Amino acid sequence: MSVEVLDGATIVDFVEEEEAFNVSIRDRFARLDADHDGLLSLAELLKELQSLRVIETHFGVDVETDPRELARVHELLFVQFDHDSNGKVDLEEFKSETKRMMLAIASGMGFLPVQMVLEEGGLLKIAVERESTKLAA
Ligand SMILES: [Ca+2]
Ligand SMILES: [Ca+2]
């Protein structure tokens, strides 16, 4: 975990660089897919959802205090990812929903930089790292 400052534009840049974004998504998916069956179960996706926890609190819903409420939120999010409702999330579903979610986060943040606690290896963290490499170049 680290505290980073990011803004909406950083996330949009990251998502719109199709090739780099796809590589990051594939990489993230492979790491979440603990049993390597090419699909994410709720338990496997949970790691990603937990890394996005800041977003839930960002929108004013403090779900951290009640584990049952948190579990319900995770189930609802999983259903959102699982477009064909087969109980598993494949790479395409993961990619399109992550993209949608990140763009929603970006528009929620606007242009004011926001301080967030980011998980190492998480997609938001990768977005910040890419942005700072670009600035350094
Ligand atoms: Ca799996
Ligand atoms: Ca599915």
pLDDT in tens, 50-97: 766 544 454 555 545 577 877 888 888 899 999 999 999 999 999 999
By residue count, the chain amounts to 137
The reported pTM is 0.81
Quote the pLDDT of residue 47.
80
Q: Work out the mean pLDDT of the chain and round it to a whole number.
A: 85
* pLDDT over 70, % of the chain: 88
Domain ranges of the chain: 2-136
Beta strands in 7-136 (DSSP E): 114-118
Per the structure block, which two tokens stand in for 113?
Answer: 């930089």
The rounded Å distance from CA 101 to ligand 1 centre is: 21
Q: Please tell me the number of the ligand nearest to residue 40's CA.
A: 1
The rounded Å distance from CA 33 to ligand 2 centre is: 14
Q: Please tell me the number of the ligand nearest to residue 94's CA.
A: 2
Tell me the C-alpha distance between 135 and 98, whole Å.
25
The one-letter amino acid code at 28 reads R
The rounded Å distance from CA 80 to ligand 1 centre is: 17
Q: Please give the helix or strand (H or E) that residue 73 lies within, else none.
A: helix 67-81
Tell me the C-alpha distance between 18 and 78, whole Å.
24
Please provide the CATH number assigned to the domain covering 2-136. Answer: 1.10.238.10
The rounded Å distance from CA 38 to ligand 2 centre is: 11
